[in-house]
């Protein structure tokens, strides 16, 4: 654990991974940069092979994002092959990265990858009806994390075939106690609006996202970057008089703000 506390008012450097079929890197970069527009924050898209070629590169980053996509076409199980590659070549660097006061987010396929990396509890498998599903869901925040500051409930879209979160009852108790359950699916305004079931994929305990490393690592199936504009929300058409910014952007703002003086320990972090 790194004890040294830097003066916390810096512009974080963000790395968004790409390659082998990840495909949400551009909008994830855009979300981080929009969230940090005032500070002129930049996010770099880096192909995993370039990172493997220069692993020390990771040292200069504060936030690492594993975006959504279809790495290796989900062959042999979603996220497995990309996680294997990452582990084979970058295990030490990952450990070092997590030992610093950094943030990690894995969205959708990124979530599947980082659970396979073993830095988050549980596993993801096929949706209960076996079919890929694109729709919006309602979520409530139940965990403690810098990523989740100022969010209690939020609606975001999902699009996945393997989003069924699996965890043993014993481990569930533990992560619940440790405030490691980031999001649970609930019946909120979207589900009421479109008459949808609250848990779209049969996830154990309605879990949509989990945390580790004192909340610094977040994995979630829903896509906050697909909710960064108001018009992306299905409810927008019945009420266009809303700010143009979508609620999903808050997740990215929280990451930027964590590195400013405001970032508070009440929301987890460090350690």
Partner 1 sequence: MISRIFVMLKNGATRADSYLIDSKFLKKELIKLAEALTNPILENFSINNLEVLPPNGGKTSKFTYAIEIGFKPGVTDNVGHTVEEIARDLLGVKKNPDFHVYTSKIVFISLSKKDAEKYALTLYNPLIEKSLIVPVKNKKISLPKKVPKVVLKKRKPVINVSLKVSDEELIKIGKEGIKDGDGTRRGPLALDLASMKTIQGYFKKLKRSPTDIELESLAQTWSEHCKHTIFANPIDNIKDGLYKTYIKGATNLIRKQKGKNDFCVSVFSDNSGGIIFDKDYLITHKVETHNSPSALDPFGGAITGIGGVNRDAIGFGLGAKPVANTYGFCLAPPDEKRKLFRDKDRTQALLPAKRIMEGVIKGINVGGNCSGIPTLSGFIKFDDRFRGKPLVFAGTVGLIPRKNGSKLLHEKKARVGDYIVMVGGKVGLDGIHGATFSSVTLDSTSPATAVQIGDPITQKKLSDAIVKEARGLNLYNSITDDGAGGLSCSVAEMAKECGGAKVMLEKVPLKYPGLRPWEIWISESQERMTLSVPKKKWKKFNELMKSRGVEATVIGKFTNSGNCVVNYKGKKIMDLDMEFLHNGLPKQHLTTIPYLQNNKEPQIPKNSSLTKTLENLLGNNNISGFSYISQQYDHEVQASSVLKPLSGRGRINTDAQVFRPVLSSEKGVILSTGVYPSYGDINTYYMAACALDTAIRNIIASGGSLSNLAILDNFCWCSSYDKTRLAQLVDAVKACYDYGVGYGTPFISGKDSMFNDFRGYDEKGNPIAISIPPTLLISAIGVVPDIYKIISPEFKNVGDVIYLLGKTDDELGGSEYYKSLKAVGNDVPKVNLEKNLKTYLALERAIQKELVASSISVTSGGLAIALAKTCVGGMLGCNISVRGMPGSSKSADAKLFSESQGRILVSISPQNISAFEKIIKNIPYAKMGKVVKDGKFTITDKTKIVKTDVKKLYKIYHRFSEKMK
Residues within the interface to partner 1 (CB under 8 A): 18-21, 23-24, 26-27, 30-31, 47, 49-50, 53, 68-70, 72-77, 80-81, 84-85, 88-89, 116, 122-123, 125, 129, 131-135, 157, 159, 161, 166, 193-195, 223, 225-226, 228-229, 231-232, 234, 237-238, 240, 244
- Is 108 an annotated catalytic residue? yes
Q: Which entry of 24, 162, 164, 223 is annotated as an active-site residue? A: 223
In the chain, what are the helix, strand and coil shares in percent, each to the nearest 5?
A: 40, 25, 40
Q: Which entry of 108, 160, 162, 164 is annotated as an active-site residue? A: 108
- Is 47 an annotated catalytic residue? no
Comparing CB distances to partner 1, the nearer of 229 and 260 is 229
**Distance separating alpha carbons of residues 136 and 258, to the nearest angstrom:** 27
Comparing CB distances to partner 1, the nearer of 234 and 260 is 234
Comparing CB distances to partner 1, the nearer of 129 and 265 is 129
Sheet-wide strand order for 181-186: 43-47, 14-18, 63-66, 103-107, 217-220, 207-212, 181-186, 133-141, 153-160
Least distance in Å: CB of 81 to partner 1? 5
- Is 96 an annotated catalytic residue? no
Comparing CB distances to partner 1, the nearer of 166 and 186 is 166
Q: Taking a C-beta distance cutoff of 8 angstroms, is the pair 195, 228 a contact? A: no
Q: State the number of CA atoms in the 13 A half-sphere of 242 facing the CB.
A: 17
Tell me if residue 115 falls in helix, strand or coil: helix
Q: Taking a C-beta distance cutoff of 8 angstroms, is the pair 217, 119 a contact? A: yes
Active-site positions?
A: 108, 223, 225
């Amino acid at each position: 654990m790194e004890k040294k506390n830097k003066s916390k008012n810096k512009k974080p450097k963000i790395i968004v991974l790409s390659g082998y079929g990840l495909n949400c890197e551009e909008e994830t970069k855009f979300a981080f940069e929009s969230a940090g527009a005032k500070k002129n924050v930049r996010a770099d898209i880096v192909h995993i092979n370039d990172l493997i070629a220069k692993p020390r590169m990771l040292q200069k980053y504060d936030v690492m994002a594993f975006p959504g996509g279809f790495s290796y076409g989900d062959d042999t199980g979603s996220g497995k092959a990309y996680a294997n590659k990452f582990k084979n070549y970058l295990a030490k660097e990952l450990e070092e990265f997590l030992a610093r006061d950094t943030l990690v987010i894995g969205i959708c396929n990124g979530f599947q990858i980082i659970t396979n990396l073993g830095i988050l509890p549980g596993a993801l498998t096929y949706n209960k009806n076996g079919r890929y599903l694109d729709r919006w869901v309602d979520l409530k925040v139940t965990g403690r994390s810098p990523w989740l500051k100022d969010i209690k409930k939020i609606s975001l879209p999902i699009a996945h075939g393997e989003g069924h979160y699996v965890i043993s009852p014993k481990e569930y108790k533990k992560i619940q106690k440790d405030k490691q359950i980031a999001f649970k699916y609930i019946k909120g305004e979207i589900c009421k609006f479109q008459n949808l079931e609250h848990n779209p994929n049969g996830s154990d305990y309605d879990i949509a996202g989990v945390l580790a490393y004192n909340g610094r690592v977040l994995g979630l199936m829903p896509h906050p970057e697909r909710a960064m504009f108001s018009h992306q929300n299905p409810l927008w058409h019945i009420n266009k008089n809303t700010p143009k910014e979508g609620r999903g952007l808050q997740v990215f703002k929280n990451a930027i703000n964590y590195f400013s003086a405001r970032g508070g320990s009440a929301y987890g972090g460090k350690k």
